[in-house]
Amino acid sequence: MSDIKKVVLAYSGGLDTSVILKWLQDTYQCEVVTFTADIGQGEELEPARAKAEKFGIRQIYIDDLREEFVRDFVFPMFRANAVYEGEYLLGTSIARPLIAKRQIEIARETGADAVSHGATGKGNDQVRFELGYYALEPGIKVIAPWREWDLTSREKLLAYAETHGIPVEMKHKAGGSPYSMDANLLHISYEGKVLEDPAREPEEDMWRWTVSPEAAPDQAEYLDLEFERGDVVALNGRRLTPAQVLAELNRLGGQHGIGRLDLVENRYVGMKSRGCYETPGGTILLKAHRAIESITLDREVAHLKDDLMPRYASLIYTGYWWSPERKALQTLIDDTQVCVNGWVRVKLYKGNVMVVGRDSKTDSLFDANISTFEDDKGAYQQADAAGFIRLNALRMRIAARLHRK
């Protein structure tokens, strides 16, 4: 008999977690509490409740976390302009600390002594979830079925589901193993099937959110984004909540074929993995945020942020959102955003986001009187540059003389 009495399962209602639910009941003989997070994946969540009820689950949590997700996780990350390995906008990574946080809260509310997730032993998500669990509840017990059972493929999961009467969408049965997908308000990801060969082009019908750039409108669309303290608060003059902002950016970006990515990334567990991502809203947001920073941030502050960004992005990718170093970096980053106020105009056209204007009435450091190519009326003394250049060249001149000898 297991010493675990009650476990909170991060439950999507899909194949993996539906099998896990039954497996937990059979293997641990414990009560299971299901937790389904609505973070904007765009799916009907009530079927998850029905599936859970079918297996006798009494405590079922389905929580709308969309606003918290964007406000407290996505927006803080974008204040840092975080990009992993030069391309990935961290759509899956940034959702895991929120899910872990709510899971631990539910464990406390229900008196559960364990939590469980559906992440595989080959991936990053097991690390992200569990680092979050332990950071928030050091003594919690963690059950990771993929590291314990012998159901090592999707085909075996399907067979298990059929044996135990677990309902599975017919499209999965008919088409074999589906793509492994993860969606939220920031992105949707795809892994598996033909993507396991990095030489093969993704199938066009795989993409869910974006049209191909070739099929995008022939007419460009202009969009104004208004920023306050580094966050977008309005689109085309209409104030929106954080979740509404990202949803609308996704809609507009998707229409114009923006935000597709085909990437081979380095997983934290050591292997290389090929995945495809759609992040239309995030792609627009990153471009616009850097544009407003270009006129409101001091040069050295901006460069310091760029120096720190890869470290910050890596912390999120590898699951250290709740670590003291990420929190310390966030404090610095948020302090730089106090002056990041104003608007940016972008042009959306066939997969591209082009910045075509930016201004800040209160915080712009751009001074046309100094930077002009016309007569600046003495605002900038060009003769001063000679001494500036000589002093900056001094160390190189000394080294050149030494090497010449």
The tens digit of pLDDT for each residue in 246-297 reads 999 999 999 999 999 999 999 999 999 999 999 999 999 999 999 999 999 9
364 within some domain: no
Q: What is the pLDDT of residue 1?
A: 46
The answer to whether the beta carbons of residues 296 and 365 sit under 8 Å apart is yes
Percent of the chain whose predicted confidence (pLDDT) is above 70 = 97
Is 287 in the same domain as 240?
yes
Asked if 336 and 309 touch (Cβ cutoff 8 Å), the reply is no
- pLDDT confidence of 169, banded at 50, 70, 90? low
Which residues are annotated as catalytic?
Answer: 16, 96, 125, 180
CB atoms within 10 A of CB 173: 12
- pLDDT for res 91: 98
DSSP three-state, residue 322? coil
- The reply to whether 239 and 317 lie within a common domain is yes
Q: Identify whether residues 224 and 117 lie together within a single domain.
A: no
Domain that holds residue 212: 188-359
Which of 178, 211, 234 lies at the terminal end of a domain, its last residue?
Answer: 178
Residue 271, domain CATH: 3.90.1260.10
CA distance 104 to 92: 19
309 and 264 share a domain? yes
Which of 178, 205, 228 terminates a domain? The answer is 178
Mean pLDDT score across all residues of the chain: 95
pLDDT of residue 141: 98
Q: Which residues contact 226 (CB under 8 A, 6 or more apart)?
A: 232, 233, 234, 235, 237, 342, 343
Which of 280, 287, 285, 282 has the alpha carbon at shortest distance from 256? 280
In the predicted model, what is the mean pLDDT of residues 61-85?
98
Cβ neighbours of residue 289 closer than 8 Å, sequence gap 6 or more: 78, 79, 81, 227, 230, 232, 340
Question: What percentage of the chain exceeds 90 in pLDDT?
Answer: 89
| 14 & 150 share domain | yes
Residue-level pLDDT at 44: 82
Tokens of 101: 């946080």
Is 199 contained in some domain? yes
Q: Give the span between the Cα atoms of 257 and 221, in whole angstroms.
A: 12
- 129, 153, 178 - which closes a domain: 178
Task: Write down the pLDDT at residue 177.
Answer: 44
Q: Are 132 and 68 in the same domain?
A: yes
Same structural domain, 253 and 104: no
CA-based max dimension of the chain: 86
Quickly state the pLDDT bin for 180 (edges 50, 70, 90): confident
Q: For residue 256, is it within any domain? A: yes
In this predicted structure, the answer to whether residue 386 has a pLDDT above a threshold of 60 is yes
pLDDT at 350 over 90: yes
In tens, the pLDDT along 202-256 reads: 999 999 999 999 999 999 999 999 999 999 999 999 999 999 999 999 999 999 9
pLDDT score, position 178 = 61
Number of structural domains found in the chain: 3
Q: What is the pLDDT of residue 133?
A: 98
Same domain flag for 384 and 330: no
Both structure tokens of 104 = 């631990």
Could you report the per-residue pLDDT of 101-155, keeping only the tens digit for each? 999 999 999 999 999 999 999 999 999 999 999 999 999 999 999 999 999 887 8
Please tell me whether residues 399 and 354 are part of one structural domain: no
